Amino acid sequence: MLIAIQGLMPDDLNLLTDNHVKIIRDMGFFGVSCRFQNPFDVKRVDVDNIKNILENGGVAPAQISASYPDIISKNGGEIGVKAMQKMCCVTNWLDAEVLYLRPGSNNLSGSWYPHPENYSSRTFDLLVKRVRRISETADSEGVVLSVEGHVLSPLYSFQRVKDLIDAVGSKSLRFNSDPVNFVSGIKEVFDSTKMIKEMFAVLGDYIVSGHTKDFYIKNELVLNISECEIGSGLLDHRTYLAMFEKYCSNAFMIIEHVENARVAPSLSALIDFADLENINLRRE
């Protein structure tokens, strides 16, 4: 696998410079996530400039993402679909392979916030319908959609993610692995190894990219699970890295949700875990 970072990039990618990319590469990353804030405003000439800066610095666009209305929302869903169709073109322009796709939520406060309707058959059927339309554009543009799940989202389990992939029936729809997103209770908290193995058993053949972070459980009377820095929590990173290397050795593992000042120690911790499994994250 190759290692990438979500971060260290300007919020406005049109402000990307050679120095941004040099910092990313000098830290030991081979790829970076590229997030576009306004899909409909993205122009080919600007994308070509971003592409050239990344290429000259030796950093690949590991995963493309964008800000857009949730595709399952009642009001903005159609706009979200069109935004993602545009992002299929942008991903192609960048010569990137993977476009990140989130399922969204019926909660108006955030795409990853809970709502009872997220678990309904109506929401799932709508998700299938709209992802199918986005997948058709991805097929024509030659890019891969990497959908992510979460216990609070309509894709609340590994099987539910596979249900979506099967229902859409497109080779362009694949999976972005992130085991921390599927920690829903004590069983996963204290046995993340079993959860990770289940993820690969169900979805290993569909993984085209992965996110990595860590989690811990707070000492409180109610269940409270929070993210933390890699190596300081309970995730079995060794099993995750070993199985990711087995199933998708050419894909990017992307460190996410880390402050810029903590990127270096996060990468160091991940490399230490990889070394224990004889996986070289320093390779060209």
For residue 80, being part of any structural domain is answered with yes
For residue 281, being part of any structural domain is answered with no
For 73-112, write each residue's pLDDT tens digit.
988 999 999 999 999 999 999 999 999 999 999 999 999 9
Average pLDDT of the chain, as a whole number = 97
pTM of the entire predicted model = 0.96
| Percent of the chain with pLDDT strictly greater than 90 | 98
For residue 212, being part of any structural domain is answered with yes
For residue 228, being part of any structural domain is answered with yes
CATH number at residue 22: 3.20.20.150
Partnered with residue 5 across adjacent β-strands are: 32, 255
Q: What is the pLDDT of residue 284?
A: 52
Domain count, the chain: 1
Domain with 244, as residue range(s), is 2-276
For residue 283, being part of any structural domain is answered with no
For residue 195, being part of any structural domain is answered with yes
For residue 282, being part of any structural domain is answered with no
Confidence bin at 283 (pLDDT 50/70/90): low
For residue 16, being part of any structural domain is answered with yes
